[in-house]
């Protein structure tokens, strides 16, 4: 039973990470910085709850606000950077955060022992005050926000920015504001998620929030779906459970995991949820006059630039 | 009254547009024509804030639009379409129009919360009217990417009009349209003009331009070489040279 | 004096960073996509080299070392082609995320594979596998400055590789074809260049260079681990951004620069700070001059 | 030499060419003229394989090239000098020219052709070590044509050779085109500058909105009032 509860809880945490990646991706920004925010959230919450006795939810709110603010500081200058360069900048941010917490020594005496982040040894003995109810409560709130976004005009504007910034500006959307806001939103989600993680796992180690984890966070979105928020949720759950399903493969299960990720991305280029949705739509359009069968066989062999 | 005065732009050393003056009254269609690379699209991009002008002024009803951000210019009453269709293809047809209404929202509620307020109701009926007018009602629930080319073109125009602009800039609306669609386009533009909209039409399709424009400005190498009504333009020597080449041997 | 010593060994070692970054940048230039598995390719090749050296007693033999080097290069090329076939070739259009994810998954697979191999194959060791080479104890003194022989050798090898690459890209038709595709794929097709074939060649060459670099680096370290590649990948991000993505010449110079910065900060301050310094530089350069500090207007890409 | 039958093509879902047929005779200079947006460039891009054919066929000397890749089409001697010239700005002028002969193996003949191109365009000889991006518009056009010639074309397709070039240089370039034709290269030229093109060409097609509106000898078209109508929409 404890095993399943743990899986349930870890799934919830991973969903939060996936949603935070998705929030920035909603405006077309492909960010690997979420791990950095996650790390900040984890350490800040741990420090607040364990060392200063703050209640969980207050600490989580402070963590997300702090991360949102850092997201603002990071997001504004990053607007100037596009595409692959932005991704690299976010990698740099996450790495700097990792190095920072890896060197952070801030301990106070509590009771009979020293407690707090101890450099490369990490923060041991974080107060464990979050389990599935706390995790899923936060998740519920965030999903609610995504639902609101998905059905409101603001959500439409966000989608418009993702699809075509120029056209979005031409219909009066303030592209800068929306991009920075979504960057902040993503950072705030990661801040809360990291905080929950710390309060759930009792041990926070900066090395764990590495480039590797950033890649995995991208897997969630790519596998689940990158256009609707249900995608990252599915992706996170599937990829959390997958290694468990592959237990029979013992040491080689992570290899199988990698193989599955590749196959899914090739077979479902939009991610599982959005690809299925897309195919269903296509099927219902089949009778239309569209020249689907006349797709450009030659163009396929050419690089993107070749067919402008 | 929409007015452009002394608008100039150069890229590197190349002068893309030099000292352009145009003015369009409401209820008037101004054609902007010229050979490839003459600066037509540059003009539209300068007016709508996609490019920053080196010098010159753009004014709409006395309000200064020069070098403002694109979204501000749109909010101030300037709408446009693009040469290469730029619709939001993953969104439904209806949402493409609704997204353009966002800037008109007075109440915060309509922006953030999907509740049916009075304002929202008004928007909804406007959307329906636009969908009707542009013959898109039957596909309103479909994703825009699944439309035919002509439908996409219509959707782009409908979206521009959802902004309730005072001036509409059309960048090659006729490209790729079949004769039937062309007739429809001409009718629609004339209709919009009658409703009091000022329109700038950049177009290669000369028959259309000559048929529906009140006045025409001809650009060549970034300079205005002629302005006048269709008749004057077709008989202008400079225009003929610009289009057909130097040797006037063509009958 | 100490600073000079650090700077020199940084410069010498930095040449391998140049090699890693060159391969990465070549692939990006032609595909416009990042190959996250580039580091893992390098790691596999380094293991290949180490295996040859371990099996045939490479500790004392320069011939075995040379054999190990060439096998690593060959293995690099083969793994690179496999990566292309699995992670890039099957993707049609799609989002920019897809090749990123497939190549990252490829990296994960290769890393995990070698984590397991190091646990189950007896010639490897679980923590760090040794790469025996006769260069281990070779040391030179330049006045009072201490220079490791291995560093000098890898520097010279790297220079030779870069020299050959430079010559190939500038003086042969097949090399020029790569630069054509990089700059304008459409023009390249119209000149009769088969873009798909160029892609394959670039993957093979870039990964072979990565393999060579992997071998040189692990010879210098004397060891190899399954995570060799992912650390180097991050370093090559820094090189790449400094150089301007897609610039081969910039990557050559910036690799050396990064090597110097890294060794000097590590030596003077601490090994921990060196990463922070590198990434702060990376971040600052991105904000101030995103196209790279060595980029001229002609090499800028959009 | 080249026969196009009922050709339709375009971009994504945008149809541009609509069931178009034309024929190019060996040794001729054929001009395709028409206003902006008529589909002239699309026609060349389709022939050279950059765009796929949605319907119809293209035959070159009896070989069906409809479904071939661009590099295979180059191999058959159809060379496309594209609109905007597409000079490789980071390669030197010499490298640009050499790469024109990418598929050829006859090194001796390549060197001779190289000298010949330089004698046709002496200005390129002075600029051999400069980067392509540093050339002026006219020089780039000469380089683009020179690069095309280095491929030893049977059919040379020129897209708007006069676009964005000073009038004196345009004169020079048209003279060169005539000279190239006299040396036995078949030429298909797309031009907006109708008068110039018709004066140079032997036969011509008038394209409007993806369809052929008129065709015949260049002389007869020069005297045809319809062209002016097509262009100015009278």
Task: Give contacts of C302 with chain D, Cβ < 8 Å.
Answer: none
- Identify the pLDDT of residue C242: 87
- Choosing among D44, D74, D94, which should be mutated to test the C contact, i.e. which has the most C CBs within 10 A? D74
Q: Which of A73-87, B162-176, D138-152 is least confident?
A: A73-87
CA distance B23 to chain D (A): 23
Tell me which chain D residues have a C-beta less than 8 angstroms from the C-beta of C29: none
Give the pLDDT confidence score for residue D164 in this predicted structure.
Answer: 75
Has residue A181 got a pLDDT over 90? Answer: yes
Tell me what pLDDT residue D25 has.
92
CB neighbour burial string for B47-86, b if at least 16 within 10 angstroms, e if fewer: bbbbbebeebebebeeeebbebebbebbbbbbbbbbbebb
Question: What CATH number matches the domain at D2-85+154-231, 3.40.190.10, 3.20.20.70, 3.40.50.300, 1.10.3720.10?
Answer: 3.40.50.300
Identify all chain C residues contacting D151, using CB atoms and an 8 Å cutoff.
191-192
The SS3 of residue D12 is coil
> Model pTM?
0.88
**Residues C64-86: tens digit of each pLDDT:** 899 999 999 999 999 999 999 99
Residue B124 has a CB neighbour count (10 Å cut-off) of 14
More confident position, C133 or D206:
D206
Average pLDDT rounded to a whole number, residues D127-134: 91
> What is the rounded average pLDDT of the residues D113-118?
94
pLDDT at A296: 38
pLDDT confidence of residue A262: 94
pLDDT reported for residue A86? 86
Q: How many CB atoms lie within 10 A of CB C275?
A: 21
Whether A289 shows a pLDDT value over 50: the answer reads no
Set of chain B residues whose Cβ sits within 8 Å of the Cβ of A174? 69, 71
Nearest residue of chain D to residue C197 (CA atoms): D71
- How far apart CA B130 and CA B97 sit, in angstroms, is 8
What is the overall mean pLDDT for chain B?
A: 87
pLDDT, tens digit (0-9, with 9 covering 90-100), for B182-204: 899 999 999 999 999 999 999 88
**Beta carbons within 10 angstroms of residue C59's beta carbon:** 15
CB-based contact A306 D11, cutoff 8 Å: no
Q: What whole-number distance in Å separates Cα of residue D192 and Cα of residue C187?
A: 22
**What is the CB neighbour count within 10 angstroms for residue B180?**
9
Nearest CA among B88, B81, B87 for reference residue B172: B81
- The residues spanned by each domain of chain D are 2-85+154-231
Checking if the pLDDT of A300 tops 50, the result is: no
A72-83 average pLDDT score: 84
**pLDDT at residue B112, rounded to an integer:** 67
Q: State how far residue B249 is from chain D, nearest Cα, in angstroms.
A: 7
Complete domains list, chain A, with CATH:
2-297 (1.10.3470)
Q: What pLDDT is recorded for position B111?
A: 67
Beta partners for residue B218, in sequence order: B33, B226
Q: Does the beta carbon of C175 lie under 8 angstroms from any beta carbon of chain A?
A: no
Contact: B36, D197; criterion CB under 8 Å: no
Task: Tell me whether residues C100 and A30 touch, CB distance under 8 A.
Answer: yes
What is the phi/psi pair of residue C290, to 5°? Answer: -60, -25
Give the model's pLDDT for residue C299: 40
pLDDT given at position C205: 96
In tens, the pLDDT along D22-53 reads: 999 999 999 998 877 788 999 999 999 999 99
How far is A15 from A34, CA to CA, in rounded Å? 13
Q: What is the pLDDT of residue C143?
A: 77
Interchain proximity C91–A265, CB inside 8 Å: yes
C143 and D CB contact within 8 Å: no
| Smallest Cα distance from D54 to chain A, Å | 6
Task: Report CB contact under 8 Å: A153, B148.
Answer: no
Among residues 189-218 of chain C, which lie with CB inside 8 Å of chain A?
189, 195-196
The answer to whether residue B229 scores a pLDDT higher than 60 is yes
Find chain B residues with C-beta within 8 A of A289's C-beta.
Answer: 148
Which of D71, D87, D131 is the closest to C189 by Cβ?
D71
Work out the percent of chain C whose per-residue pLDDT is above 70.
Answer: 96
C38 token code pair: 């580039």
Instruction: Please answer whether residues C87 and A243 qualify as being in contact, where contact means their C-beta atoms are separated by less than 8 angstroms.
Output: no
- Answer yes or no: is pLDDT of C147 > 90: no
Smallest Cβ distance to A96: which of C95, C189, C280?
A: C280
Q: Residue C297: is its pLDDT beyond 50?
A: no
pLDDT of residue A302: 41
Say which residue the tokens 């002016």 belong to.
Answer: D228
Q: Is A170 on the interface with B (CB under 8 A)?
A: yes
Question: How would residue B113 be classed by pLDDT, with cut points 50, 70 and 90?
Answer: low
Cβ–Cβ below 8 Å for C191 and D151: yes
pLDDT for position D99? 94
Q: Partners for C (CB, 8 Å, 3+ pairs)?
A: A, D
Q: What is the mean pLDDT of residues A123-148?
A: 90
Strand B2-11 and strand B55-60: the pairing is: antiparallel
For every residue of A213-279, which 3-state class applies, written as one string? HHHHHHHHHHHHCCCCCHHHHHHHHHHHHHHHHHHHHHHHHHHHHHHHHHHHHHHCCCCHHHHHHHH
For a pLDDT cut of 70, what percent of chain A falls above it?
92
In this structure, the number of other CB atoms found within 10 A of the CB of residue C63 comes to 10
Nearest CA in chain A to C105: A258
**C172 and chain A in contact, CB less than 8 A:** no
Is a pLDDT exceeding 90 seen at residue C197?
A: yes
| B250 pLDDT more than 60 | no
Residue C279 has pLDDT above 60, yes or no: yes
Contact D36 B36 (CB under 8 A): yes
State the distance between the two ends of chain C, measured CA to CA, in whole angstroms.
Answer: 43
Mean of the per-residue pLDDT values of chain C: 88
Rounded to an integer, the average pLDDT of C138-153 is 83
Per-residue confidence (pLDDT) for residue A299, from 0 to 100: 39
Q: Mutation target for A interface from B87, B99, B139: give the one with most A CBs within 10 A.
A: B99
Distance between CA atoms of A223 and A272, rounded to whole angstroms?
Answer: 6
Among the partner residues B152, B176, B207, nearest to D233 by beta-carbon distance: B207
Higher local confidence (pLDDT), B178 or C117: C117
SS3 per-residue string spanning chain B: CEEEEEEEEEECCEEEEEEEEEEECCCCEEEEECCCCCCHHHHHHHHCCCCCCCEEEEEECCEECCCCCHHHHHHCCEEECCCCCCCCCCCEHHHHHHHHHHHHCCCHHHHHCCCCCHHHHHHHHHHHHHHHHCCCHHHCCCEHHHCCHHHHHHHHHHHHHHCCCCEEEEECCCCCCCHHHHHHHHHHHHHHHHCCCEEEEECCCHHHHHHHCCEEEEEECCEEEEEECHHHHHCCHHHHHHHHCCCCCCC
d(CA B81, CA B201) in angstroms, rounded, equals: 10
CB C149 within 8 A of CB C65: no
Asked if D88 has any chain C CB less than 8 Å from its own CB, the reply is yes
Residue keyed to tokens 């060409």: D201
Tell me, what's the pLDDT at A293?
39
């Amino acid at each position: 039973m404890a095993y399943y509860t743990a899986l349930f809880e870890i799934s919830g945490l991973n969903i939060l990470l996936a949603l935070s990646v998705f929030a920035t991706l909603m405006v077309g920004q492909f960010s690997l910085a979420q791990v950095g925010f996650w790390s900040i959230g984890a350490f800040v919450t741990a420090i607040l709850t364990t060392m200063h006795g703050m209640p969980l939810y207050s600490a989580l709110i402070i963590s997300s606000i702090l991360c949102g603010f850092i997201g603002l500081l990071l997001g504004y200058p990053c607007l100037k950077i596009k595409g692959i360069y932005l991704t690299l900048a976010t990698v740099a941010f996450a790495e700097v955060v990792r190095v920072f917490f890896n060197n952070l020594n801030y301990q106070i005496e509590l009771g009979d022992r020293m407690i707090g982040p101890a450099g490369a040894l990490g923060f041991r003995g974080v107060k464990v005050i979050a389990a599935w109810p706390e995790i899923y409560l936060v998740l519920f709130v965030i999903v609610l926000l995504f639902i609101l976004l998905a059905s409101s005009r603001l959500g439409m504007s966000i989608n418009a920015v993702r699809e075509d910034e120029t056209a979005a500006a031409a219909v009066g959307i303030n592209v800068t504001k929306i991009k920075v806001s979504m960057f902040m939103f993503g950072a705030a989600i990661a801040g809360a998620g990291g905080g929950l993680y710390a309060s759930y796992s009792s041990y926070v180690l900066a090395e764990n929030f590495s480039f590797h984890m950033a890649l995995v966070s991208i897997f969630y979105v790519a596998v689940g779906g990158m256009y609707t928020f249900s995608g990252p949720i599915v992706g996170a759950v599937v990829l959390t459970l997958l290694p468990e399903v592959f237990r029979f493969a013992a040491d080689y299960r992570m290899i199988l995991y990698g193989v599955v990720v590749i196959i899914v991305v090739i077979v479902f280029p939009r991610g599982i949820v959005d690809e299925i949705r897309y195919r269903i739509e296509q099927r219902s359009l089949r009778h239309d006059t569209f020249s689907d069968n006349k797709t450009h066989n030659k163009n396929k062999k050419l690089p993107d630039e070749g067919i402008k | 009254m929409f007015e452009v005065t002394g608008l100039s732009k150069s890229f590197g050393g190349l002068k893309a547009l030099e000292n352009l003056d145009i003015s369009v009254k409401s209820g008037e269609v101004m054609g902007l024509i010229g050979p490839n690379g003459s600066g037509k699209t540059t003009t539209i991009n300068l007016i709508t804030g996609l490019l920053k002008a080196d010098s010159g002024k753009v004014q709409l009803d006395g309000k200064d639009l020069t070098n403002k951000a694109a979204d501000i210019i749109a909010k101030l009453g300037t709408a446009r379409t693009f040469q290469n269709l730029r619709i939001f293809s993953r969104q439904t047809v209806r949402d493409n129009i609704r997204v353009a209404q966002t800037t008109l929202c007075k109440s915060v509620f309509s922006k953030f919360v999907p509740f049916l307020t009075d304002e929202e109701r008004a928007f909804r009926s406007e959307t329906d009217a636009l969908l009707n007018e542009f013959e898109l009602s039957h596909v309103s629930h479909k994703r825009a990417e699944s439309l035919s080319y002509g439908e996409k073109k219509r959707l782009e125009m409908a979206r521009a009009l959802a902004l309730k602009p005072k001036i509409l800039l059309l960048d090659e609306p006729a490209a790729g349209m079949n004769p039937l669609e062309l007739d429809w386009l001409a009718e629609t533009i004339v209709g919009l003009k009658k409703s009091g909209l000022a329109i700038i039409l950049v177009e290669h399709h000369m028959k259309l331009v000559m048929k529906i424009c009140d006045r025409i400005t001809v650009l060549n190498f970034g300079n205005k070489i002629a302005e006048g009504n269709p008749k004057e333009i077709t008989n202008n020597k400079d225009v003929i040279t610009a289009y057909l080449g130097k040797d006037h041997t063509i009958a | 004096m100490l600073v000079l010593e650090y700077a020199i060994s940084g410069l010498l070692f930095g040449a391998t960073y140049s090699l890693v970054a060159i391969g990465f940048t070549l692939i990006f230039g032609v595909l416009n996509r990042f190959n996250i598995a580039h580091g893992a390719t390098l790691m596999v090749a380094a293991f290949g080299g180490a295996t040859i050296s371990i099996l045939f007693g490479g500790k004392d033999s320069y011939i075995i070392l040379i054999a190990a080097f060439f096998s690593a290069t060959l293995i690099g090329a083969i793994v690179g082609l496999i990566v292309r076939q699995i992670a890039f070739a099957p993707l049609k259009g799609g989002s920019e995320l897809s090749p990123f994810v497939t190549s990252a998954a490829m990296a994960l697979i290769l890393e995990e594979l070698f984590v397991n191999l190091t646990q189950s194959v007896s010639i490897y060791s679980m923590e760090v596998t040794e790469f025996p080479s006769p260069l281990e104890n070779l040391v030179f003194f330049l006045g009072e400055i201490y220079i490791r022989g291995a560093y000098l050798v890898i520097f010279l090898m790297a220079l030779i590789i870069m020299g050959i690459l430079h010559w190939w890209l500038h003086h042969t038709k097949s090399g020029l074809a790569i630069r054509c595709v990089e700059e304008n794929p459409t023009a390249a097709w119209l000149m009769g260049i088969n873009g798909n074939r160029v892609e394959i060649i670039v993957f093979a060459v870039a990964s072979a260079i990565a393999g060579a670099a992997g071998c040189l680096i692990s010879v210098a370290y004397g060891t190899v681990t399954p995570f060799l590649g992912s650390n180097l990948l991050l370093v090559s991000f820094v090189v790449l951004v400094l150089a301007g993505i897609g610039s081969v010449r910039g990557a050559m110079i910036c690799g050396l620069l990064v090597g110097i910065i890294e060794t000097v900060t590590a030596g003077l301050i601490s090994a921990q700070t060196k990463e922070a310094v590198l990434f702060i530089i990376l971040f600052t350069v991105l904000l101030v001059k995103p196209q790279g500090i060595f980029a001229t207007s002609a090499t800028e890409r959009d | 030499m080249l026969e196009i039958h009922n050709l339709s093509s375009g971009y994504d879902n945008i149809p541009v060419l609509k069931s178009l047929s034309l024929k190019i005779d060996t040794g001729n200079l054929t001009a395709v003229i028409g206003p902006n947006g008529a589909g002239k460039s699309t026609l060349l891009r389709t022939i050279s394989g950059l765009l796929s054919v949605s319907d119809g066929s293209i035959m070159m000397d009896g070989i069906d090239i409809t479904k071939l890749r661009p590099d295979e089409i180059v191999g058959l001697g159809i060379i496309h000098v594209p609109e905007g010239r597409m000079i490789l700005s980071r390669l030197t002028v010499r490298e640009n020219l050499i790469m024109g002969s990418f598929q050829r193996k006859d090194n001796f003949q390549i060197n001779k052709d190289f000298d010949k191109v330089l004698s046709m365009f002496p200005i390129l000889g002075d600029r051999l070590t400069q980067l392509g991006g540093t050339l002026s518009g006219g020089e780039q056009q000469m380089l683009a044509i020179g690069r095309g010639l280095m491929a030893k074309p049977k059919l040379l397709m020129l897209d708007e050779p006069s676009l964005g070039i000073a009038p004196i240089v345009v004169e020079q370039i048209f003279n060169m085109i005539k000279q190239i034709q006299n040396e036995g290269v078949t030429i298909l030229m797309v031009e907006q500058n109708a008068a110039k093109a018709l004066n140079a060409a032997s036969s011509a097609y008038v394209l409007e909105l993806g369809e052929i509106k008129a065709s015949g000898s260049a002389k007869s078209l020069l005297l045809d009032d319809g062209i002016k109508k097509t262009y100015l929409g009278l």
